[in-house]
C-alpha cells in the first residue's frame, strides 16, 4: 500500500456500500469493477495492523482513514473525513507531526520518527512509529498528499526495555559477585568479571579470546573439558592456575545459555580456599587437644592404627605408653587451674622433646598422656625411653616462684604381644599404669596378664561387695567364750561371713582387706553392729543365757570414722536391752595409732557402758606404759602363741607373761584359738580367765548356736574338766 500511488480523486465518497462479490474457489477474484476493487482495498486496509490516514498536502484535511487510524484519534472512518491534522491530533503530538509532514512534502521522501500516543481508554501510553509518505505526482513534480502511517511499537519497546534491564542487572551482578564468572563460547573466553580476574591474577584484556582451559591446572583439563562439552548443567571441583603459578581450588559450575539466539556458556568459579581451610581447621580441632596442641584421643587412635599396620608388615613391635601424672589433681586444686594448665603444657613439651620424630605423643585429657614407640626390638628399648620420660617430666617446674615437681606413672603395653586392637592395647597400657601406681607411683610397669587378671577379679569383687548388704549376703557366726574354771558361757565373738552368690561362703580374710581399701568397711561394720544387737536382744528376750556379752570386731577405718561413738550410742538406745552386752575388739595395732584421740574415743565408749578388748595381743609390741593409760577391760592372747602350747618354750613363756601382765593391770585375759585339751590345761593352770577356740566350739550360725546352748549339760564344771 505504501508503495502504491494513491489517487484520492477516485474516492467518490466515504460510503462503505460494498457490492456483492463473487468468490472464486481459489479466493482470487479474477475481474472486479473499480468500485469492487476499492471496497476490497478498504477491507484489507482495515485488517492490517497499521494505522493509515491520507491527508491533503495544502489543507491537511483527511481524505482517507482506515478504521484503526480514525479510532486512534476518537473518530470513525466517516466522521474523520475532511478534518485537518490540527483538528484531529492532540496538541502534544501536533507540532512534531506538522513539522515532519512539511519535511516529507518538501523533500519528497518518506520521513519517520517515534512518538508516544495516549491511549484512548486512559491505559498506558503506546509507542508509535510514525511514517509520513509523500504522494508524489510525477508530472507536476510535487506532492498532492501525505500518507500517514502509525505502527505500534509498544511491545518491541517493552521487550527491549526488559532485556536491557536484565542485561544491566546481570552486568552489575557480575561486577559485584565475589565468585568468578566467565562467559565463553567454543571454549574461548568472551567476558570475565573482576573476581575471576583476581582469582587468576590476569587482566580481562589479557584473557579475552583465550581458551578457558588455559586457566585450569593441566592434569585437570581433561575433566573440565568433558564438563564443558556436556549439555547438562554440572559442577566439578578443580584447580585454577594463578599467574604466579599457585593453584587455587575452585568449584567449577557450568551453565549453557543463549545470547541473541546463539549458544553461550557461563561458568561460575567458586573459590574453595576458605571452605577447605575451615574443613582442615575442623579436622584439626577434632583430632587435637586445645591446651597442648598435641593429638587427642581420636587423633591418637588413627595414628595407632596406622603404626600397627606398619609394625605388622615390618614384623616389629610397637610400644604404647600410658603416662599419668601422680597426684596431679591435688596440685591442680592447690595451685589453681591456670598453673595446672601451664604445668601440663610444659609436660607436653618435655615428653615431645624426649622422643624421636617417628614416635608419637598425644594427650588423652586431664593429666593423661600417650606415647607410641614404633620399631621396638625388646623391652630394654622401652625401659630406656620410659626412664628418660620420667626424668624429664619430674624435673621441677617453677610455679609462682616455687619449684614444683610431678612424677609420672607409666604403663606399657606392647603390640602384638599385649593386644591386637588399638582399644585393647590402650586398655592394657592403662591397667599397667595403675599397677605402676600401686607399686608406689613414680615408676613404670609392663602389662602383665596374671596381675591384671587378679586385679580384675578384685575389681569385680569390689563391685559385688558394695551390693552385698542390700542383697542380704552377709551373715554373722558366733563363737562361744567360756569361763576357764567352770565352762560357763560368758559371751560370743561375732564373726562375719559373706555368702557370695557365685563363690560360696567367703571368710573375712577374703574380702575385709578389699573393703578396707574402698571405705566399704564403714557400712559393713555398721551392719555387723546392728546384726549383733539384734541377736543379743533376741537371746535376752528368749532368756537363753544371761548375762551374755557379744564381742564385735572393729576395723581401723570404722573406729576412726567421724560419728562412730555416736552411732554406738544410738545403737544401744535403739536396742533397749541395756549396755553391758556389748564388747568391742580392737587390735593392739589400732590402739597404737594416735594416742590422745584413741584414748578419748575409748573413754567415750567406756562411758556408754561398752567393754573394750585388745585383740591379737602380743603381736603389736605396744609398750606397757602406753597400755596402762588406756581404758581397757580385756586382753586376747593371740592364736599364734596358743597354737604351740604347751610344748614350745617361747610360746609358753610369752603366754604366761601376758597373763601375769593382765593380772597386774587388773584386766580380764582370754586365750583364742584353743584347740586341744593340753592347751586348755596349760591356760587354766596359769590363770587365764576365759577360753575361745575350736576346742570349745567352732563359730556357729545363729540357729546352731541356739541349739548348742540348749543342748549343753546343766553341770558345766564336768564339761570343762572332761572335754
Ligand atoms: P580374729 O578377731 O582374731 O577372730 C578369730 C579368728 O580365729 C576367726 O577367724 C575364727 O574363726 C578363728 N578361730 C576360732 N577358733 C579357732 C581355733 O581354734 N583355731 C584357729 N586356727 N582359728 C580359730 P575368722 O572368722 O576367719 O576371722 C578372721 C578375722 O577377721 C578375725 O580375726 C577378725 O580380725 C576379722 N573379722 C571377723 N569378723 C569381723 C567383723 O565383723 N568386723 C571386722 N572388722 N573384722 C572381723
Ligand atoms: Ca577378734
Ligand atoms: Ca584375734
User: Does the pLDDT of residue 155 top 90, yes or no?
Assistant: no
What are the C-alpha distances in Å from 639 to residues 552, 613, 622, 670? Answer: 17, 15, 17, 11
User: Does the pLDDT of residue 29 top 60, yes or no?
Assistant: no
Report the mean per-residue pLDDT for the chain. Answer: 86
pLDDT in the model for residue 624: 64
Q: What is the bridge-based pairing of β-strands 504-506 and 402-404? A: unpaired
Bigger pLDDT: 476 vs 29: 476
User: Which of 499, 392, 409 is closest to 446 using CA atoms?
Assistant: 409
| Smallest-distance ligand from the CA of 693 | 1
Give me the mean pLDDT over the 663-676 stretch.
Answer: 93
User: Does the pLDDT of residue 153 top 80, yes or no?
Assistant: yes
pLDDT band at 20 (very low <50, low <70, confident <90, very high): very low
pLDDT band at 6 (very low <50, low <70, confident <90, very high): very low
What letter does residue 434 receive in the DSSP assignment?
Answer: H
Q: Is residue 120 within 8 Å of 71, Cβ to Cβ? A: yes
pTM above 0.85, yes or no: no
Give residue 273 CA to ligand 3 midpoint distance, Å: 79
What letter does residue 529 receive in the DSSP assignment?
Answer: H
pLDDT in the model for residue 16: 42
Name which of 127-141, 185-199, 704-718 the model is least confident about.
704-718
Is the peptide bond between 416 and the residue preceding it cis, with omega within 30 degrees of 0? yes
**CA distance linking residue 51 with residue 71, whole number of Å:** 9
pLDDT band at 7 (very low <50, low <70, confident <90, very high): very low
Nearest CA to ligand 1 atom 28: 508
pLDDT in the model for residue 233: 61
Give me the mean pLDDT over the 146-161 stretch.
Answer: 90
**CA distance linking residue 512 with residue 531, whole number of Å:** 17
pLDDT band at 322 (very low <50, low <70, confident <90, very high): very high
What is residue 133's three-state secondary structure? Answer: strand
pLDDT band at 542 (very low <50, low <70, confident <90, very high): confident
Nearest CA to ligand 1 atom 35: 508
Name which of 124-128, 250-254, 641-645, 684-688 the model is least confident about.
124-128
Q: How many CA atoms lie within 13 A of 239 on its CB side?
A: 9
User: Does the pLDDT of residue 312 top 70, yes or no?
Assistant: yes
Longest dimension (CA), the chain: 179
User: Which of 592, 587, 683 is closest to 643 using CA atoms?
Assistant: 683
pLDDT in the model for residue 464: 82
**Cβ of 60: how many Cβ atoms within 10 Å?**
21
User: Which of 378, 376, 361, 370 is closest to 314 using CA atoms?
Assistant: 376
Give me the mean pLDDT over the 51-56 stretch.
Answer: 94
pLDDT in the model for residue 97: 94
pLDDT in the model for residue 622: 61
Residues 6+ apart with CB under 8 A from 155: none
pLDDT in the model for residue 76: 92
User: Does the pLDDT of residue 323 top 50, yes or no?
Assistant: yes
Give residue 502 CA to ligand 3 midpoint distance, Å: 28
User: Does the pLDDT of residue 148 top 70, yes or no?
Assistant: yes
Give me the mean pLDDT over the 235-240 stretch.
Answer: 91
Which atom of ligand 1 is nearest the CA belonging to 554?
A: 44
Residues 6+ apart with CB under 8 A from 597: none
Give me the mean pLDDT over the 190-206 stretch.
Answer: 93
pLDDT in the model for residue 359: 93
What are the C-alpha distances in Å from 268 to residues 151, 225, 226, 230, 300? Answer: 43, 15, 16, 16, 40
What percent of the chain is predicted at pLDDT more than 90? 50
Phi and psi at 172, nearest 5°, equal -65, -40
Which of 475, 494, 495, 511 gets mutated to test ligand 1 (max ligand atoms within 8 A of its CB)?
495
- Give residue for cell 591418637: 300
Give residue 712 CA to ligand 2 midpoint distance, Å: 24
Cα 230 versus chain centre, distance: 43
Bigger pLDDT: 519 vs 185: 185
Give residue 513 CA to ligand 2 midpoint distance, Å: 15
Bigger pLDDT: 638 vs 719: 638
Opening angle at CA 134, ends 132 and 139, nearest 5: 175
pLDDT in the model for residue 19: 43
User: Which of 244, 200, 241, 196 is closest to 220 using CA atoms?
Assistant: 241
Q: Is residue 200 within 8 Å of 211, Cβ to Cβ? A: no
Give me the mean pLDDT over the 211-232 stretch.
Answer: 86
What percent of the chain is predicted at pLDDT more than 70? 91
Give residue 494 CA to ligand 1 midpoint distance, Å: 9
User: Does the pLDDT of residue 348 top 60, yes or no?
Assistant: yes
Give me the mean pLDDT over the 349-373 stretch.
Answer: 92
**CA distance linking residue 240 with residue 218, whole number of Å:** 9
pLDDT band at 9 (very low <50, low <70, confident <90, very high): very low
pLDDT in the model for residue 26: 54
User: Does the pLDDT of residue 635 top 80, yes or no?
Assistant: yes
| Smallest-distance ligand from the CA of 618 | 3
pLDDT in the model for residue 10: 42
Amino acid at each position: 500500500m505504501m508503495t502504491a500511488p494513491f489517487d484520492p480523486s477516485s474516492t467518490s465518497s466515504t460510503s462503505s456500500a460494498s457490492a456483492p462479490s463473487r468468490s472464486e474457489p481459489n479466493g482470487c477474484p479474477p475481474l472486479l469493477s473499480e468500485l469492487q476493487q476499492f471496497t476490497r482495498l478498504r477491507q484489507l486496509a482495515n485488517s492490517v495492523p497499521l494505522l493509515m490516514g491520507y491527508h491533503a498536502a495544502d489543507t491537511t484535511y483527511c481524505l482517507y482513514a482506515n478504521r484503526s487510524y480514525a479510532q486512534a484519534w476518537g473518530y470513525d472512518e466517516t466522521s474523520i473525513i475532511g478534518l485537518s491534522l490540527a483538528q484531529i491530533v492532540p496538541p502534544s503530538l501536533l507540532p512534531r507531526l506538522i513539522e515532519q509532514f512539511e519535511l516529507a512534502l518538501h523533500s519528497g521522501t518518506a520521513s519517520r520518527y517515534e512518538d508516544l500516543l495516549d491511549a484512548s481508554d486512559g491505559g498506558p501510553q503506546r509507542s508509535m512509529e510514525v511514517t509520513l509518505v509523500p504522494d508524489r505526482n510525477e508530472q507536476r513534480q510535487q506532492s498532492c498528499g501525505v500518507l500517514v502511517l502509525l505502527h505500534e511499537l509498544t511491545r518491541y519497546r517493552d521487550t527491549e526495555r526488559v532485556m536491557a534491564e536484565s542485561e544491566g542487572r546481570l552486568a552489575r551482578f557480575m561486577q559485584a559477585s565475589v565468585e568468578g564468572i566467565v562467559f565463553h563460547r567454543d571454549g574461548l573466553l568472551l567476558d570475565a568479571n573482576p573476581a575471576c580476574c583476581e582469582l587468576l591474577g590476569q587482566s580481562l584484556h589479557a584473557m579475552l579470546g583465550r581458551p578457558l582451559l588455559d586457566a585450569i591446572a593441566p592434569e585437570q583439563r581433561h575433566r573440565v573439558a568433558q564438563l564443558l562439552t556436556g549439555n547438562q548443567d554440572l559442577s566439578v571441583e578443580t584447580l585454577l592456575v594463578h599467574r604466579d603459578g599457585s593453584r587455587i581450588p575452585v568449584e567449577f559450575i557450568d551453565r549453557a545459555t543463549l545470547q541473541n539466539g546463539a549458544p553461550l556458556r557461563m561458568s561460575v568459579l567458586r573459590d574453595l580456599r576458605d571452605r577447605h581451610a575451615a574443613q582442615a581447621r575442623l579436622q584439626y580441632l577434632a583430632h587435637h587437644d586445645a591446651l597442648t596442641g598435641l593429638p587427642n584421643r581420636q587423633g591418637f587412635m588413627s595414628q595407632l592404627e596406622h603404626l600397627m599396620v606398619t609394625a605388622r608388615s615390618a614384623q616389629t613391635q610397637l610400644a604404647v605408653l600410658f603416662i599419668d601424672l601422680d597426684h596431679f589433681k591435688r596440685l591442680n586444686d592447690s595451685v589453681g587451674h591456670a598453673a595446672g594448665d601451664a604445668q601440663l603444657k610444659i609436660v607436653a613439651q618435655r615428653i615431645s622433646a624426649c622422643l624421636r620424630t617417628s614416635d608419637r605423643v598425644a594427650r588423652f585429657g586431664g593429666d593423661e598422656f600417650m606415647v607410641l614407640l614404633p620399631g621396638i626390638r625388646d623391652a630394654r628399648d622401652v625401659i630406656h625411653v620410659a626412664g628418660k620420660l620420667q626424668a624429664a617430666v619430674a624435673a621441677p617446674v617453677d610455679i609462682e616462684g616455687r619449684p614444683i615437681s610431678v612424677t609420672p606413672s607409666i604403663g606399657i603395653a606392647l603390640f602384638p604381644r599385649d593386644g591386637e586392637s588399638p582399644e585393647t592395647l590402650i586398655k592394657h597400657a592403662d591397667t599397667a599404669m595403675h599397677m605402676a601406681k600401686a607399686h608406689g607411683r613414680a615408676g613404670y610397669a609392663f602389662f602383665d596378664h596374671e596381675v591384671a587378671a587378679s586385679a580384675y577379679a578384685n575389681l569385680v569383687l569390689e563391685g559385688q561387695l558394695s551390693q552385698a548388704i542390700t542383697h542380704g549376703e552377709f551373715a554373722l557366726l558366733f563363737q562361744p567364750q567360756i569361763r576357764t574354771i567352770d565352762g560357763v558361757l560368758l559371751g560370743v565373738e561375732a564373726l562375719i561371713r559373706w555368702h557370695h552368690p557365685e563363690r560360696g561362703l567367703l571368710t573375712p580374710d577374703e574380702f575385709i582387706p578389699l573393703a578396707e581399701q574402698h571405705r566399704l568397711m564403714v557400712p559393713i561394720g555398721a551392719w555387723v553392729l546392728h546384726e549383733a544387737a539384734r541377736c543379743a536382744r533376741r537371746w535376752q528376750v528368749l532368756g537363753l543365757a544371761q548375762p551374755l556379752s557379744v564381742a564385735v570386731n572393729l576395723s581401723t577405718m570404722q573406729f576412726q570414722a567421724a560419728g562412730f561413738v555416736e552411732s554406738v550410742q544410738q545403737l544401744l538406745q535403739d536396742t533397749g536391752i541395756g549396755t553391758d552386752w556389748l564388747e568391742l575388739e580392737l587390735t593392739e595395732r589400732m590402739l597404737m595409732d594416735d594416742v590422745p584421740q584413741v584414748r578419748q574415743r575409748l573413754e567415750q565408749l567406756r562411758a556408754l557402758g561398752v567393754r573394750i578388748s585388745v585383740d591379737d595381743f602380743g603381736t603389736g609390741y605396744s609398750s606397757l606404759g602406753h597400755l596402762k593409760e588406756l581404758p581397757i577391760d580385756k586382753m586376747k592372747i593371740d592364736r599364734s602363741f596358743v597354737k604351740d602350747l604347751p610344748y614350745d618354750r617361747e610360746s609358753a613363756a610369752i603366754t604366761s607373761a601376758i597373763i601375769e601382765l593382765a593380772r597386774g593391770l587388773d584386766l580380764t585375759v582370754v586365750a583364742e584359738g584353743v584347740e586341744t585339751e593340753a592347751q586348755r590345761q596349760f591356760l587354766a593352770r596359769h590363770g587365764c580367765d576365759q577360753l575361745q577356740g575350736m576346742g570349745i566350739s567352732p563359730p556357729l550360725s545363729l540357729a546352731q548356736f541356739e541349739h548348742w546352748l540348749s543342748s549343753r549339760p546343766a553341770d558345766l564344771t564336768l564339761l570343762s574338766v572332761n572335754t
